[in-house]
Chains A and B, each alone.
Chain A
Amino acid sequence: MKQHLGRQSGVQKVDVSLIDGKVDVTPKEDGQIDPAQLLKAVYDSGVTVAEMDVIARGKIVKDAAGNFALQVSPNQSFAIASNDLLKAVEPLADSPAAVTIRGELYRKRAGKKKTAASAPLKLLILDVQRKE
């Protein structure tokens, strides 16, 4: 699995801990990495992903329907799931201010033994680390 992940575009380093089942992925300096692609790569190597967390820096944007997203690059953004922490960053929507967010992108649904994420990944904010 480590080799499989290491071959994905944008991956600089992969650390695997067999004891606690933790996989740490360090992106290359440009940060151009696709979490959905990593999720698929892990499933393809025969392992089930229980949870995927991400630390990302970007700006908060709001679409015409009023949904919020974290834009990490001009062509990559993640829809933000509604919770109390979203309210804290809502005022930053469509401003040039950048924010660093730790959030949950994927969690395996209870009862499902092995399913790859089919729906688009949604970011559940766990922590707002820095507003600039």
Chain B
Amino acid sequence: MNTRKLALLFLLGSIFVPVSQAQIKHIEMRVEGMT
């Protein structure tokens, strides 16, 4: 039973990890008037 619970926990964890890694990866700007 405990093994099943651990397996379920691992499965749920692997689903939610990508969301916790959400972030801004890159920003690019085009600017005017730069010398």
Q: List chain A positions with a Cβ less than 8 A from chain B.
A: 1, 16, 18, 20-27, 30-33, 35, 38-39, 42, 46-59, 71-73, 96-98, 100, 108, 114, 132
Chain A residues near B16 (CB-CB < 8 A): 96
Q: CB < 8 Å: which of B23, B27, B29, B33 contacts A58?
A: B23
- Chain B's nearest CB lies how many Å from the CB of A6? 13
Can you name 15 extra interface pairs (CB under 8 A) apart from A42-B31, A57-B22?
A20-B30, A21-B31, A24-B28, A25-B27, A27-B27, A31-B23, A38-B29, A48-B32, A54-B26, A55-B26, A58-B19, A58-B23, A59-B19, A72-B24, A97-B18
B29 touches A42 (CB 8 A): yes
Assign chain B's interface to a size class: 10 to 19
Chain B residues near A31 (CB-CB < 8 A): 22-25
SS class, residues of chain B in contact with chain A: strand
What are 29 inter-chain pairs, A to B, with CB distance below 8 A?
A: A20-B30, A21-B30, A21-B32, A24-B28, A27-B26, A30-B23, A31-B25, A33-B24, A33-B27, A35-B24, A35-B27, A42-B29, A47-B32, A48-B32, A49-B32, A50-B32, A52-B28, A53-B29, A54-B26, A55-B24, A55-B25, A55-B26, A56-B23, A71-B22, A96-B15, A96-B18, A98-B19, A98-B21, A98-B22
